[in-house]
């Protein structure tokens, strides 16, 4: 195993997150940027790049965020969107820009504020419905069969996995239980009460086979990270999280019979690139911070990164190995299922925390190689990083 860091994440800013009403996505974004700068010790005039992603809330953040944040003389600015894969992708593009001399210090930020009143779930659903263009042609078939939101699409993917491999709801529940166990020790998690398999099974169905506890939260907030060249970390305030490897994968989805993207995701493409860059195998990974919009997303991602064979994800997770004290610590902050849902910034932020060794009561002792993934669409888009406390 040989590696040299490609870049370093030197600033992390997490805004107030959760069911926080009456604030705009821009307000959250500016708070996250200020906290990232404070965390790093950098000044605004030292920043020369800004990459951003907006969530579902409208109005959201846009290119005007540069002026709202007081950032001047930037050499790199872009508004990006590969859905939940974007935050990881932003770090990748910031790294490539730094390596090629286009920028030296890049802020990457995601912000969203779909919850606008105490009727949180209905408010978020209305925001999504109001802001989504009405599909036409082939894409309109989903609505005609009742597939109106991501719940149904991911539920169909999980059901296919169950039919092919015998995966059970209780095995998905084991993921929910282990993720919540991590959230107990995360001060900013939205849920801190432990749950059992019985609690999972008793929670109401959202879209079979998904119970409520199989599904991610809805959250308001923002996360910003600051990416620099690895040589700039010596005089900064916080420990860096080094970027050792990065990859993307897109299988394509023709929406026709024979597609396999729902159980053979883009991770199957990204995996070989990611591992090959630094000569590692799944057995070398210390911690997984995986995009977990649903319990099934965690399961299929573990399979596709080779932690177990295809179709073996259910038996692999049911013994609790993903939770505290387990041999494959996964989503150590509580993930999107129990901590907060800020798209791909949720796993990325926790990856940075673990790489720095600043996780407090949830810190994993061995944190040399951390897998961070982002997922978007209906398992359509995928991006990943290997983070570490070590530059080489």
pLDDT band of residue 129 (cuts 50, 70, 90) is very low
Q: Using pLDDT thresholds of 50, 70 and 90, give the confidence band for residue 126.
A: very low
Selected from 3.40.47.10, 3.30.420.40, 1.10.10.10, 1.10.10.350, the CATH number assigned to the domain covering 7-116+218-232 reads: 3.40.47.10
**Catalytic annotation present for 165:** no
For residue 25, how many C-alpha atoms fall within 13 Å in the half-sphere facing its CB? Answer: 22
Residue 246 has pLDDT above 50, yes or no: yes
pLDDT for the residue 253: 84
**Interval 215-224 mean pLDDT:** 97
- Is the pLDDT at 105 greater than 60? The verdict is yes
What is the average pLDDT across 147-169?
A: 93
Contacts 24+ apart (CB under 8 A), 319-325: 319/174, 320/174, 320/177, 320/178, 322/174, 322/175, 322/178, 322/179, 322/288, 322/298, 323/177, 323/178, 323/179, 323/181, 323/182, 324/178, 324/181, 324/182, 324/185, 324/362
pLDDT computed for residue 78 by the predictor: 98
Residue 143 phi/psi, 5° resolution? -65, -35
Residue 2: predicted pLDDT: 64
Predicted pLDDT of residue 254: 77
Greater model confidence, 2 or 260: 260
Question: In terms of pTM, does the model score above 0.85?
Answer: yes
Report pLDDT for 139: 65
C-alpha span between 205 and 212 (Å, rounded): 6
- Supply the pLDDT for residue 131: 52
How confident is the model over 261-301, as pLDDT tens digits? 899 999 999 999 999 999 999 999 999 999 999 999 999 99
Cα–Cα distance, 50 to 308 (Å, whole number): 38
Q: What is the pLDDT of residues 294-308, one digit of tens each?
A: 999 999 999 999 999
Question: Omega into 209 within 30° of 0, i.e. cis?
Answer: yes
Q: Which of 263, 305, 341, 381 is catalytic?
A: 341
Distance between CA 344 and CA 117 in Å, rounded?
A: 24
Q: What is the pLDDT of residue 375?
A: 97
Check residues 254 and 91 and name the one with the higher pLDDT: 91
pLDDT tens readout for residues 28-43: 999 999 999 999 999 9
pLDDT at 100 over 90: yes
Mean pLDDT of 330-357: 98
Query: What pLDDT was estimated at residue 258?
Result: 81
What share of the chain has pLDDT > 70, as a percent?
92
pLDDT of 370 higher than 80: yes
Selecting among 291, 296, 305, 381, the annotated active-site residue is: 291
**Confidence at residue 138, expressed as pLDDT on a 0 to 100 scale:** 61
- Asked whether the beta carbons of 283 and 369 are under 8 A apart, the reply is no
Is there a contact between 156 and 253 (Cβ–Cβ < 8 Å)?
no
What is the average pLDDT across 5-16?
98
291 is a catalytic site residue: yes
pLDDT at 191: 98
For 323-332, what is the mean pLDDT?
98
Position 128 pLDDT exceeds 60: no
**pLDDT of 274:** 98
Average pLDDT for the chain: 93
């Amino acid at each position: 195993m040989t590696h040299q860091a490609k870049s370093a994440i030197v600033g992390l800013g997490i805004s107030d997150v959760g069911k926080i009403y009456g604030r705009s996505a821009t307000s959250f974004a500016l708070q996250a940027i200020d906290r990232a700068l404070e965390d790093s010790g950098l000044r605004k005039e030292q920043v020369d790049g800004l990459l951003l992603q907006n969530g579902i809330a409208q109005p959201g953040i846009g290119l005007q965020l540069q002026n709202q944040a007081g950032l001047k003389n930037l050499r790199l600015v872009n508004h990006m969107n590969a859905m939940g894969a974007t935050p990881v992708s932003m770090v990748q593009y910031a790294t490539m820009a730094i390596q090629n001399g286009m920028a030296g210090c890049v802020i990457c930020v995601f912000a969203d504020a779909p919850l606008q009143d105490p009727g949180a779930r209905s408010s978020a659903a209305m925001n999504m419905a109001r802001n989504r263009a009405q599909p036409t042609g082939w894409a309109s078939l989903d609505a005609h069969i009742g597939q109106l939101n991501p719940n149904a699409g991911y539920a169909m993917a999980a059901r296919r996995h169950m039919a092919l491999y015998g995966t059970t709801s209780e095995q998905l529940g084991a993921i929910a239980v282990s993720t919540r166990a991590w959230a107990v020790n995360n001060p900013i998690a939205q849920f801190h009460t432990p749950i059992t398999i019985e609690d999972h099974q008793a929670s109401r169905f959202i879209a079979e086979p998904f119970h409520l506890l199989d599904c991610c939260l809805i959250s308001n907030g923002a996360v910003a990270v600051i990416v620099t060249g690895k040589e700039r970390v010596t005089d900064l305030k916080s420990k860096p999280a080094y970027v050792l490897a990065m990859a993307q994968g897109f299988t394509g989805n023709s929406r026709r019979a024979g597609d396999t993207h729902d159980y053979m995701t883009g991770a199957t493409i990204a995996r070989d690139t990611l591992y090959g860059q630094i000569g590692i195998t799944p057995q070398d990974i210390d911690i997984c911070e995986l995009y977990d919009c649903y319990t099934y997303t965690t399961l299929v991602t573990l399979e596709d990164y080779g932690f177990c064979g295809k179709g073996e994800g259910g038996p692999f997770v049911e013994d609790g190995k993903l939770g505290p004290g387990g041999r494959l610590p996964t989503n150590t902050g509580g993930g999107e299922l129990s901590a907060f849902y800020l798209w791909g910034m949720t796993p990325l932020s926790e990856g940075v925390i673990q790489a720095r060794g600043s996780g407090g009561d949830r810190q994993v002792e061995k944190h040399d190689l951390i897998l961070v993934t982002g997922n978007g669409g209906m398992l359509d888009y995928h991006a990943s990083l290997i983070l570490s406390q070590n530059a080489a």
